[in-house]
Structure 1
Amino acid sequence: MTTIPVTDLLGSLRSGNSTAPRLTWYGPDSERVELSGRVLDNWVAKTSNLLQDELDAEPGMRLRLALPAHWKALVWALAGWQVGLETVLDGGPADFLATDDPAGAVEQHDAVIAVALPALAMRWTGELPAGCFDYAADVRSHGDVFMPHSDPDPSACAVRTQEGRIIRHRELISGFALPHTEGARLHIPADKGLESALANALGAWQQDGSVVLTHPDVALTGKLLADERIHGS
């Protein structure tokens, strides 16, 4: 089996200190979501299985993430990479589109997945365009363990950045992730965008760290910093 950096990273998240917080999200209306390494890997596995088994995704296909910096967007990026997909962040063409605004997008992609952002959403609120998949309603039925049908190609494109820079799967950690100190508890402001959130989160997780991602409407108070043990934010 061919491994790529994200496969090794997910393995470390679920097999190391798997109950420790790895991803904490602060959203509007006092929303707080905390995912341990095991739970984060679980979400990624379910999403990868949805891509592979329900949408027939294969290595080399393209996944566009039209999502804000949000914990579910990080899950989608990790899932796409685990399947071997190219994550498109520059708005370019793609086979699949994961979006929180699916209206009018169905004709442009093989599959459009509507991603409801509220943590407790069990389904999309309101009507969806014909042929659009409901992530919240569909994802929980998929398996907690991902077994790839095909090995990803380490030399294939993993990320196409907003500037059009190509990062290959084998370079995700060395060429895309930002360096952080061992065990860092890193604050990531969502208003810096999804690309920044992904690069920072990968770098922190690679160093056995964790991240706190905050919505732009969330005030970064001294109490929040102290409660989350964030240093140097």
Structure 2
Amino acid sequence: MNASDRTPADLLRSALATDPARPLVTFYDDATGERVELSVATFANWVSKTANLLQGELAAEPGDRLALLLPAHWQSAVWLLACSSVGVSVDIGGDPAKAGLVVTGPDTLDAARACGGERVALALRPLGGRFPQPPEGFIDYAVEVPSQGDRFAPYAPVDPDAPALTVEGTELTSAQLVALARENASERGLAPGSRLLSGLAYDSWDGLSAGLFAPLAAGGSVVLCRHLGSLPAAALEQRVTSERVTHRAV
């Protein structure tokens, strides 16, 4: 990756310039049997559309705080990079009442209603499906995002030294996040082409790093598994083989 990259969005742009066709995020939900594979180009397209929704429809600006109430999921990864693209600071599992925006899954709708700003809900259904009945008081992400533009340009430059992520009470700037992701990638022995299988939740830095940021910083990819504990050991080993996994975080 480019040594001058100082935000997660920079890392994604470098990955897109290097090899847009390679896999970046392969997602499994072992409770539903869902499998989704996104190349760098496809993932970046989702990020651009989501960033346009965030900046345009939701009127988010650099420095705004967004409470992210989502599990380890490919759409969660998209939101993390979209926020980085706009300059919005993400509070993982944060208090919606203290945030200007909230993005929630179906299991945390009641908590998310405490947000006085814009509220976005994700059904987290296979293939990015919408809610059968849109939740009252929320924008249905799956309804709004398809019509957004495929290219994104921020209204204002993103400051690498501004707060980008808060997790477990620790606040990181974009530059600190990228530096820590690179450090974690080195510690794990990740390199371009590495495939890291992660069954960790997105509620800690370890989970976020293994499940997105470290593979992205290394020029590798992630096999992100939700509900991995329900998978028999033999089936896990088969997945490791079929997905060409080189490293694990479970």
Per the alignment, residue 205 of structure 1 pairs with 216
Q: Give the TM-score, by structure 2 length.
A: 0.85
- Residue 52 of structure 1: SS of its match in structure 2? helix
RMSD of the alignment, in Å?
Answer: 1.9
> Does 2:197 match 1:187?
yes
Quick check: 1:231 aligned with 2:246?
Answer: yes
User: What is the TM-score of this pair, normalised by structure 1?
Assistant: 0.90
Q: Could you say if the C-alpha distance between residues 215 and 7 of structure 1 is closer, same or farther in structure 2, counting changes exceeding 3 Å?
A: closer
Within 5 Å, which residues of 2 pair with 1:79-118? 79-92=82-95, 93-100=98-105, 101-103=108-110, 105-118=112-125
- The structure with the largest helix share of the pair is 2
Q: Is the 8 A contact 2:163 2:173 kept in 1?
A: yes
Q: Distance in 1 between matches of 2:36 and 2:53?
A: 22
Alpha-carbon distance in 2 for matches of 1:121, 1:41 = 15
Report the equivalent of 1:145.
151
Contact 1:9 1:206 in 2 (8 A): yes
Per-residue deviation, 1:128? 1.1
Structure 1: distance between partners of 2:121 and 2:204? 17
Closer, same or farther in 2 for the Cα pair 1:192/1:115, shift >3 Å? closer
Task: Deviation per CA, 1:112-167: give whole Å up to 9, x if none.
Answer: 1001111324322224123x1110110011011111111122221111111x1111
Is the 8 Å Cα contact of residues 67 and 194 (structure 1) preserved in structure 2? no
Deviations 1:148-189 (A, max 9, x none): 111122221111111x11111221211356224212210110
Letter of the 2:101 partner, please give it: F
Quote how far apart the aligned CAs of 1:192 are: 6.5
Give the SS at the match of 1:102: helix
Q: Does 1:34 align with 2:18?
A: no
Corresponding position: 1:120 with 2:127: yes
Structure 1 contact 103–128 (Cα < 8 Å) conserved: no
Distance in 2 (alpha carbons) for counterparts of 1:232 and 1:154: 29
1:13-33 deviation digits (Å, cap 9, x = unpaired): 222111111100011322100
Which blocks of at least 5 consecutive residues in structure 1 are unaligned?
none
C-alpha change, 1:223 and 1:176, in structure 2 (3 Å) is closer
**What is the aligned-residue identity percentage?**
33
Q: C-alpha separation between the residues in 1 aligned to 2:160 and 2:102?
A: 23
Is 2:78 the partner of 1:75?
A: yes
Contact 1:104/1:129 (CA < 8 Å) preserved in 2? Answer: no
Aligned to 2:173: 168
Seen in structure 2, the aligned counterparts of structure 1 residues 227 and 90 have a Cα distance that, compared at 3 Å, is same
Distance apart, 1:90 and its partner CA? 4.8
Asked if 1:214 is matched to 2:225, the reply is yes
Look up the equivalent residue of 1:60 and give its one-letter code.
Answer: G
